[in-house]
């Protein structure tokens, strides 16, 4: 599974680099490669045919990248193990330890002095 994922990522990288090269070769004002080939002889590889090729290559490479990424998500999205879901562990309060309780002091009730004799 890892080799398939690596292969898909390599293909995505290659398609991305080709897409960058094709986009950089285009000129936003209609120049680019079409202006290079268009001046010499339009009958061989004309301006319109070059623009069509560049546009189709751009859309095709974009679609290829999207499809490869979706395939890689589908492949890696599935869990590889079927381990049962673990139940959350409840932490119980620690049991109180038996400590020796302080000895109870027994004191006699306070003695009230007897009333003075008359």
Question: Which residue did the predictor score with more confidence, 118 or 5?
Answer: 5
**pLDDT above 90 for 101:** no
Question: Which residue did the predictor score with more confidence, 52 or 47?
Answer: 52
Lookup result for tokens 């990288």: 13
Q: What confidence category does residue 20 fall into, taking pLDDT thresholds of 50, 70 and 90?
A: very high
Q: What is the rounded CA–CA span in Å between residue 103 and residue 118?
A: 44
Measured at the alpha carbon of residue 88, what is the angle toward residues 84 and 89, in degrees to the nearest 5? 120
**pLDDT above 80 for 62:** yes
Q: What is the rounded CA–CA span in Å between residue 7 and residue 68?
A: 10
Give the residue-averaged pLDDT of 80-96: 66
Q: Where on the phi/psi map is residue 18: left (φ > 0), alpha (ψ -120 to 50), or beta? A: alpha
Measured at the alpha carbon of residue 92, what is the angle toward residues 86 and 93, in degrees to the nearest 5? 155
What is the per-residue pLDDT for 50? Answer: 72
**pLDDT above 80 for 68:** yes
Q: What is the rounded CA–CA span in Å between residue 57 and residue 61?
A: 6
């Amino acid at each position: 599974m890892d080799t398939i994922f690596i292969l898909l990522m390599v293909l995505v990288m290659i398609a991305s680099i080709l897409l960058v090269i094709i986009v950089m070769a285009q000129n936003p004002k209609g120049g680019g490669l079409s202006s290079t080939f268009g001046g010499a002889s339009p009958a061989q590889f004309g301006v319109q045919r070059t623009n069509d090729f560049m546009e189709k290559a751009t859309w095709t490479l974009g679609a290829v990248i999207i499809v490869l990424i979706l395939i890689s998500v589908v492949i890696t999205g599935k869990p590889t193990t079927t381990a049962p879901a673990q139940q959350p562990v409840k932490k119980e309060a620690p049991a109180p330890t038996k400590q020796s309780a302080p000895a109870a002091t027994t004191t006699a009730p306070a003695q009230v002095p007897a009333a003075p004799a008359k």
